[in-house]
């Protein structure tokens, strides 16, 4: 799975062929939730965020989008734009569920860190302590790769997703975690010291199962989903559909100058497993990151370790991003400081979630992906705008 869906397979590239002109998406419809009664000036509607949202579905012609802002002073604000189903023309609506891709990695990292806090996993222990013999061929050695390096993407392991030439090669197949690791070990060693790899988080999920005797999905449910009452978040297993209200997920292509959308809603994401398969909503993603960065899921010392970052490859995440243990740190361009969170993408869906210094939270769900650098930058600008607007610190 990728941090963002700006490529068609394997590596989370930020660049893609610029989309040719085509038919415009149906008109936007966005309805914000009311602000808290007696909220301070600046609460209420968010015109800059609304414009950024509608830029995605209007100018960039992404099919649909939902944005949710949770503000300590103003309460919750949600808007939806574009359409949820191209066949029927049904509009996007707040509260719909979708695939959140690599945001799953943040959930898995929290579970590992909680187990570290319980003394059941040592972050600087080698993978071979927990899974002897799993990584032992083609020059890869589990005795030299630590748990911490898995979570930070500094393990030197390639990404098994790069072994699938097209989405169709995994879309309706079941994969066991060990099979995914074996696929990765057949690839050459990546260049550089940092390499985004879903395989790292598959192995982390296997370690969770080894030390607890329970499935990765059960541990994420009992440690995170249930305590936070994330009613829209679940691991679908081999189910190819999405439960409850949800948009259709689309991939745009251009053929002979004509833009076409292919429906990728149905998909078996066992290929992503602990690194990219959760389904959720903007409400739940915002709640999760708020609880995590607010200190409700991890003790202070482990949250501090989670936020210790290294430089990330901008071609595999985005410019100026730094990667911690399942968390990405990104500068806020409109108001200064950094936001912490993650992003995810798989064919048909992309999502962002994060928290600004003052505690304001944002979550965004698209049922389409960015097909160009401009579109991707517009997605990041939407997150940046939503986290800064009305905060009193916006740069002019």
Residues 129 and 276 in one domain: no
Question: Do 196 and 271 belong to one domain?
Answer: no
Higher pLDDT, 226 or 25: 226
Whether 199 and 250 share a structural domain: no
pLDDT score at 315: 85
pLDDT in tens, 57-110: 888 788 999 999 999 989 999 999 999 999 999 999 999 999 999 999 999 999
188 and 329 housed in the same domain: no
Q: Residue 164 pLDDT more than 60?
A: yes
Return the structure tokens found at 24. Answer: 């415009």
CB 380 within 8 A of CB 390: no
Token output for 130 = 């927990």
Q: Residues 343, 299: one domain?
A: yes
Backbone angles phi, psi at 113, to 5 degrees: -70, -35
**pLDDT at position 274 over 50:** yes
Nearest to 362 by CA among 344, 385, 396: 385
Query: In the structure encoding, which two tokens stand for residue 379, read together?
Result: 């997605």
Q: Between 154 and 259, whose confidence is greater?
A: 154
Question: What's the Cα-to-Cα distance from 171 to each of 34, 157, 241, 260, rounded to whole Å?
Answer: 40, 23, 12, 20
Q: How far apart are CA 341 and CA 379, in angstroms?
A: 14
Q: Who wins on pLDDT, 69 or 258?
A: 69
What average pLDDT does this structure show over 44-63? 88
* Residues 280, 96 contacting (CB under 8 angstroms): no
What percentage of the chain has pLDDT greater than the value 90? Answer: 78
| 3-state SS assignment for residue 304 | helix
Last residue of a domain, one of 204, 222, 240: 222
User: In angstroms, what is the C-alpha Rg of the chain?
Assistant: 20
Q: pLDDT value at position 303? A: 98
Strand ranges (DSSP E) for 228-288? 250-255, 258-263, 279-281
In a domain, 3, yes or no: no
- Return the CATH number at 316: 3.40.710.10
- Which has more pLDDT, 245 or 369? 245
Q: Write out the catalytic residue numbers.
A: 102
Instruction: Give the helix/strand (H/E) hosting 223.
Output: none
* Domain presence at residue 186: yes
Handedness of CA 78, 83, 85, 88 (dihedral sign): positive
Pairing of strands 322-323, 328-331: antiparallel
- pLDDT-based confidence at 41, cuts 50/70/90? low
Question: Quick one: pLDDT at residue 40?
Answer: 61
Structure tokens at 195: 């390499």
For residue 134, what pLDDT band results from cuts at 50, 70 and 90?
Answer: very high
The string of DSSP letters for 152-204 reads HT-S----GGGG-SSGGGTTT----HHHHHHHHHTSPPPSSS----HHHHHHH
Model confidence at 348: pLDDT above 50: yes
* 186-205 pLDDT tens trace: 999 999 999 999 999 999 99
Please tell me whether residue 249 adopts helix, strand or coil conformation: coil
**Among the listed ranges 43-57, 290-304, 350-364, which one has the minimum average pLDDT value?**
43-57
Rounded to 10 deg, the angle between the 373-388 and 47-57 helix axes is: 160
* Same domain (yes/no): 246, 366: yes
Paired tokens of 100: 């959140």
Q: How far apart are CA 77 and CA 31, in angstroms?
A: 9
Q: Which of 3-17, 228-242, 254-268 has the highest mean pLDDT?
A: 228-242
Q: Are residues 94 and 212 in the same domain?
A: no
Number of domains in the chain: 2
Whether residue 165 lies inside any domain: the answer is yes
Residue 288 in any domain: the answer is yes
And the tokens for 199?
């395989």
Residues 6+ apart with CB under 8 A from 197: 153, 155, 157, 158, 159, 160, 184, 190
Confidence of residue 44 (pLDDT cuts 50, 70, 90): confident
- pLDDT at residue 184 greater than cutoff 90: yes
One domain, residues 261 and 182: no
Asked whether the predicted pLDDT for residue 20 surpasses 50, the reply is no
What are the structure tokens assigned to 316, written together? 């595999």
Structural domain range at position 335: 47-103+232-388
In a domain, 40, yes or no: no
Q: How many CA atoms lie within 13 A of 300 on its CB side?
A: 0
Write down the pLDDT at residue 391.
Answer: 57
Average pLDDT of the residues in 389-394: 62
Look at residue 146 in the predicted model and tell me its pLDDT. Answer: 98
The Cα 351–Cα 365 span in angstroms is 4
Give the domain-ending residue among 222, 249, 278: 222
């Amino acid at each position: 799975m990728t941090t963002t869906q700006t490529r068609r397979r394997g590596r989370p590239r930020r660049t893609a062929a610029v989309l040719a002109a085509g038919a415009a998406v149906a008109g936007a419809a966005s309805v914000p939730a009311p602000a808290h009664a007696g909220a301070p000036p600046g609460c209420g509607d968010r015109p800059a965020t609304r414009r950024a949202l509608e830029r995605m579905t209007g100018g960039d012609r992404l099919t649909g989008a939902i944005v949710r802002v949770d503000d300590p002073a103003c309460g919750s604000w949600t808007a939806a734009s574009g359409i949820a189903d191209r066949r029927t023309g049904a509009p996007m609506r707040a509260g719909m569920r979708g695939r959140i891709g690599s945001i799953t990695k943040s959930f898995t990292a929290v579970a590992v860190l909680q187990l570290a806090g319980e003394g059941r996993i040592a972050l600087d222990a080698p993978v071979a302590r927990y899974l002897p013999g799993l990584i032992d061929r083609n020059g890869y050695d589990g005795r030299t790769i630590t748990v911490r390096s898995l979570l930070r993407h500094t393990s030197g392991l390639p990404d098994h997703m790069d072994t699938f030439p097209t989405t169709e090669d995994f879309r309706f197949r079941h994969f066991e975690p060990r099979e995914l690791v074996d696929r990765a070990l057949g690839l050459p060693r990546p260049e550089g010291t940092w390499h985004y790899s879903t395989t790292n988080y598959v192995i982390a999920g296997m370690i969770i199962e080894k030390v607890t005797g329970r499935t990765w999905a059960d541990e994420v449910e009992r440690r995170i989903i249930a305590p936070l009452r994330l009613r829209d978040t679940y691991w679908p297993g081999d189910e190819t559909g999405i439960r409850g209200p949800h948009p259709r997920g689309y991939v745009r292509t251009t053929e002979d100058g004509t833009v076409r959308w292919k429906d990728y809603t149905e998909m078996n994401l066992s290929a992503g497993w602990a690194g990219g398969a959760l389904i959720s909503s903007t409400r739940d993603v915002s709640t999760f990151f708020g609880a995590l960065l607010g200190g409700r899921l991890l003790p202070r010392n482990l949250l501090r370790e989670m936020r210790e970052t290294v430089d990330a490859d901008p071609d595999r995440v985005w410019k100026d991003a730094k990667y911690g243990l399942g968390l990405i740190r990104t500068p806020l361009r409109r108001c200064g400081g950094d936001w912490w969170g993650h992003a995810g993408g798989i064919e048909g869906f992309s999502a962002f979630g994060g928290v600004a210094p003052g505690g304001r939270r944002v979550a965004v769900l698209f049922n389409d992906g960015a097909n160009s650098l401009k579109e991707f930058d517009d997605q990041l600008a939407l997150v940046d705008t939503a986290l800064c607007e009305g905060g009193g610190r916006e740069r002019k």
